[in-house]
Amino acid sequence: MTNFKRFKRNEKIKVMKILRALNYIYSLRHLESLLEIPYQSLWKYINMLSIPSDEVTANILAKLNELKLIDQTINDFMSMHKNNVHELVSDIGLLSLYALKLEDDLRDQDIDIIIPISGDSIPFATILAWELGLKMCIPFFDTKKVEDSKIRVTWYHSHYNNIELFIISTTCVDDLNVLLADTVLDDVEKLKAILHLLKSGNSKLKGVVTVYIGKDCLNFIEKHPLQSVTYYIAVI
């Protein structure tokens, strides 16, 4: 008889979350053919109606690793939607899969709070915060809705030749370990301004996570070591 590793409940739940994310992109029938698991069972796992056994969990993980399915799915999806960036970075399946891929690494970074640095990145930051069990703080992207009197403000000359403001509550950036989240990080002046704002609040940058990163932003990060981790899928 084959002995299978005994998996903790949270490890099985993560496998179920990965299956759910994959199901946003693939049909149950396609997942059945890839993973060699009956689609009826997959449906139960995806909908959290049943928890896979140790044997099934081991088999699913083995297939995921053998096929490099998470990375392959992300890369294929990126290629398929390369001409429609907005649709790509709005896809819950892709964002969930990416967040689950990064989860273990990010748990090691001693993060206190996640800050989405653009309106479009709020869904991604929300998924990350949910998976990591962290607080999220949304900046005031609409200056007309600033009601908090305790705020920090920075400005920058954007690559669109506009003067832009970045406004956030002091409770989000004072003496905290911060993870910045974006979907398209392509404005190096904005990145510099936000880093200056964090420094003024005595906060530490623990990481930057984005789907796309601009060459200027990547060059800045590489030339100015931020003592933090940087994750991205593609350079634009």
CATH assignment at residue 133: 3.40.50.2020
Residue 82: per-residue pLDDT: 83
Domain stops at, among 67, 94, 117: 67
Residue 142: per-residue pLDDT: 79
- How far, in whole angstroms, is CA 37 from its chain's centroid? 28
The tally of domains found in the chain comes to: 2
- Please choose, from the candidates 197, 205, 211, 199, the residue with its C-alpha nearest in 3D space to the C-alpha of residue 228: 205
- How far, in whole angstroms, is CA 104 from its chain's centroid? 12
Are 210 and 142 within one domain?
Answer: yes
In a domain, 207, yes or no: yes
Residue 4: per-residue pLDDT: 65
Task: Report residue 8 as tokens.
Answer: 């903790």
Residue 12: per-residue pLDDT: 96
Q: In the chain, which stretches have pLDDT less than 70?
A: 1-4, 145-149
Residue 84: per-residue pLDDT: 87
Are 34 and 120 within one domain?
Answer: no
Q: pTM of this prediction? A: 0.91
Are 131 and 231 within one domain?
Answer: yes
Residue 1: per-residue pLDDT: 41
Task: Report residue 120 as tokens.
Answer: 């479009």
DSSP class of 121 = G
